[in-house]
């Protein structure tokens, strides 16, 4: 539907790093980011390829107005403040196990389980009628 219009330039590599909300570094300076909601068909297909998860759908759908220019949203703002610290830094790498200086002592096999007790002698049957 061509309802999203973006114009961007590569950021200067010497510029301080800035980050998106998901922790991904921003590599472009966006000068125009407009969405014309009067052209949007609310298909949700723009949310999947968004690399920083910044485009998402909401349950709001009542945008009635008599002026279609009210449906044009300008998201790129001059002088916008950006995150200068990564909100989701990468997880630290696990420490390497220390190198063993001496081989580990061999383990002794577990002791054998005790032998089962001898079965008890069968009880002498008592004849019927008493002894």
pLDDT tens for each residue of 52-87: 777 888 887 777 788 888 888 887 877 777 777 777
* Calpha distance 19→51 (Å, rounded): 12
User: 16 or 120: which carries more pLDDT confidence?
Assistant: 16
pLDDT at 43: 86
Tell whether the model's pLDDT for residue 118 goes beyond 60.
no
HSE-CB of 59 using CA atoms within 13 angstroms? 0
Partnered with residue 36 across adjacent β-strands are 72
Tell whether the model's pLDDT for residue 4 goes beyond 60.
yes
If pLDDT is split at 50, 70 and 90, which confidence band does 126 have? low
Query: Hey, which of 93-97, 102-106, 125-129 has the most confident mean pLDDT?
Result: 93-97
Q: In the structure encoding, which two tokens stand for residue 45, read together?
A: 């297909």
Average pLDDT for 1-15: 86
DSSP state, residue 34: E
Average pLDDT for 95-121: 62
Tell whether the model's pLDDT for residue 120 goes beyond 60.
no
Task: Kindly report the number of other CB atoms within 10 A of residue 9's CB atom.
Answer: 9
pLDDT at 56: 82
Q: In the structure encoding, which two tokens stand for residue 32, read together?
A: 């125009």
Q: What are phi and psi of 8, to 5 degrees?
A: -140, 155
pLDDT tens for each residue of 10-39: 988 898 888 887 888 888 888 888 888 888
66 burial (CB, 10 Å; 0-12 / 13-18 / 19+) is exposed
């Amino acid at each position: 539907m061509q309802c999203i219009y973006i114009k961007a330039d590569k950021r200067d590599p010497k510029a301080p790093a800035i980050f998106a909300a998901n922790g991904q570094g921003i590599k472009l300076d966006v000068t125009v980011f407009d969405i014309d909601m009067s052209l949007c068909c609310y298909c949700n297909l723009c949310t999947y390829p968004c690399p920083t998860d910044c485009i998402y759908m909401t349950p709001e759908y009542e945008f009635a107005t008599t002026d279609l220019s009210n449906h044009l949203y300008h998201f790129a703002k001059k002088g916008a403040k950006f995150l200068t610290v990564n909100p989701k830094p990468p997880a630290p790498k696990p420490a390497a196990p220390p190198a063993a200086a001496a081989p580990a002592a061999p383990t002794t096999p577990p002791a054998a389980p005790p032998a089962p007790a001898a079965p008890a002698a069968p009880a002498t049957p008592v004849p019927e009628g008493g002894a």
